[in-house]
Structure 1
Amino acid sequence: MLPTIDIETPAAAALSPVCFRLGMPHMSASGVRRSWVLREACHRHWLSIAAQSGVTPSDLRDLTGARVMASVVACTLKGDSAAFREDDLCQFVMTEPPSAQNGWRSQLQLRAPGKLLCAEILTSFARRNGRSNVKLGVPDLKAMFQADRGHAAARRAALLRTLGRHDRDRAQRENAPPHISFEILEDDHLNGVGLVYFASIHDMIERAERNAAPEILCRFPMRNRRAHFFGNLDVGDRLEVTARASVHSLAPNPAVTVQSHAKRASDGAVIACAESIYGT
């Protein structure tokens, strides 16, 4: 049996496989909570990056001394979260750590006997340029943190960035009304550095998907989701999400794709886009 969580160093916490039993903090009514999987994946992703500089995440600074934060560019989830049940004995394993060579992309797996949920995280680096979350900027990074986007291992990261730009351009031309709107609340949506956490936006997109086609999507599990993030919001602003479902096939192998985009109500800026596949 693998050891339980033992956080002695950032590198050990990020890279060591962890064995644990699923309980209520990990669960939703239909299985393991996807946003929890993404939060844990990003936490270990960021621990791994900070460990490469020999510090904890809260001590990572740029050349000017400003705190550097991980800004999630994209995430993907693949697998059936509904297959996981309370009391399942699971392993959380990082199968590919983030590095400058792969464009700061990581892959992690939640494993249980006969069950697998794969998470992928792609990040860039950000710093504050004032108190507003709208005004995040690019930090003055050490050379070791400059992504090698020409490296062969960075091809997947480049593809995700290209898909994200394509989705954002399409969303900027979209004038359809939102299916659902969310007010940004400090206690519900902000993380420890005061930014709206990407996993919170992921939850809002998932709710909008269900709201767009509840009679279809409630019947099938979500198999794959690709999400991209382009900005942040301040408390009191609203995120307005529009989602459209397309049925690609029916019985015996139903498949439904939902494309979503989320805009900041204060200025109409596209904050996130997603494409999700539901089916058997």
Structure 2
Amino acid sequence: MTVATLAQTGRYTAGMPQLNTNGLSENWLLKECGDRHWRGIAQANGQTQPEFRDAQGHKVYAAFTLVRITAGRLEQIAENDAFTITSQCLPVGRAQHYSRHLLQAQGQTAARVEMLSAFVRRAQPGSNRGVVRAAMADTSAQAPDPALWTAAEAFVRRGKEHRATEPTLANAPAHILDFTPCPNNDFNGADLLYFSAFQAMVDRAEWAWMLHTQPPGRPAALREREMVFFGNLDLGDSVQIQLQPQVADEGLLCHSSVLQRQSDGVCIARVVTRKLAPVYANEMQAALRV
């Protein structure tokens, strides 16, 4: 019987690898939480190193289907600041795992990260376009914290609702960016486009859009982001990021993005972002309301 991992806390000091212009790097945070999720799956299954195969013996990996960041205050973490990430991971049905991660600095919450993954394998060797869910043995779980199981169930339902919705934008995108991911920077060791690359592509589109519409200024500070993943990308293929601003409360910059494969037009992700941008957000939101 598999069990939920007990809360594991990692302690860090913010240096250049963890930081960017706006405090703690969201991209670094996603990668770190993704690694903690993967190792949590191994721990929940009694393994010291993550190594999984499906019923037919094929090597499988945990691909994220839904990732959400809430209560983001990453700009509060600066150089040499100490911070912690406390993580829990829980099997939730056949081939799926849920994890939640609490980022804290100076006794304050700087972000909450939730992740849902499914075991996948390639239907055709060498092709990421044919990634399919792996047939795994059913697992049961015992959550040491009932609230963890409740949160996991709610997150699984949220993922199902997202996947039942057509992954398109309601209106024509305000900004389009074509981007070709680089194998040395955007793909992981399994030769899959890494989930954190999706966040990076949306931020590139956002920054290009803001430079086009407003004078250069400080980047917006993350408050929330939700990423729903539908597919992956082969080496050499490109992505079209379609960004559509949304009306939001004063001082907030909000947008939805659809990411499509250039080779066949298939949507591989949908991303919703909320950021604090007091310098220019009000002008942008006023323009959207006209």
TM over 0.5: yes
How far did residue 203 of structure 1 move?
Answer: 0.7
State whether structure 2 residue 143 is matched by structure 1 residue 144: no
1:1-280 paired onto structure 2 within 5 Å: 15-56=7-48, 58-78=50-70, 79-94=72-87, 96-100=88-92, 104-113=97-106, 114-129=108-123, 130-144=125-139, 153-166=152-165, 168=167, 170-171=168-169, 176=173, 179-214=176-211, 215=214, 218=218, 220-250=220-250, 254-279=251-276
Q: Which runs of 5+ in 1 are unaligned?
A: 1-10
How far did residue 174 of structure 1 move?
Answer: 6.8
How far did residue 19 of structure 1 move?
Answer: 1.4
TM-score (norm 1): 0.83
Which portions of structure 1, spanning 4 or more consecutive aligned residues, are displaced by more than 6 angstroms?
A: none
Task: Give the whole-Å Cα distance in 2 for the aligned partners of 1:19 and 1:26.
Answer: 13
SS in 2 for 1:85: coil
Percent identity between the aligned chains? 24
SS in 1 for 2:63: strand
TM-score (norm 2): 0.80
The answer to whether the Cα contact below 8 Å between 2:89 and 2:100 also exists between their aligned partners in 1 is yes
Deviation string, structure 1 residues 128-181 (Cα, Å, up to 9, x no partner): 2221111112212012179xxxx855122211331344261x34x876586211
Letter in 2 for 1:274: V
The answer to whether the Cα contact below 8 Å between 2:22 and 2:219 also exists between their aligned partners in 1 is no
Alpha-carbon RMSD across the aligned residues, in angstroms, is 2.7
Task: Give the whole-Å Cα distance in 2 for the aligned partners of 1:49 and 1:221.
Answer: 31
* Structure-2 change in CA distance of 1:213 and 1:244 (3 Å): farther
Deviation string, structure 1 residues 54-88 (Cα, Å, up to 9, x no partner): 22555211111111101110111121211111111
* Structure-2 change in CA distance of 1:57 and 1:182 (3 Å): farther
Aligned residue pairs: how many?
A: 259
The answer to whether the Cα contact below 8 Å between 2:67 and 2:115 also exists between their aligned partners in 1 is yes
Letter in 1 for 2:260: K
Letter in 2 for 1:138: R
Letter in 2 for 1:54: G
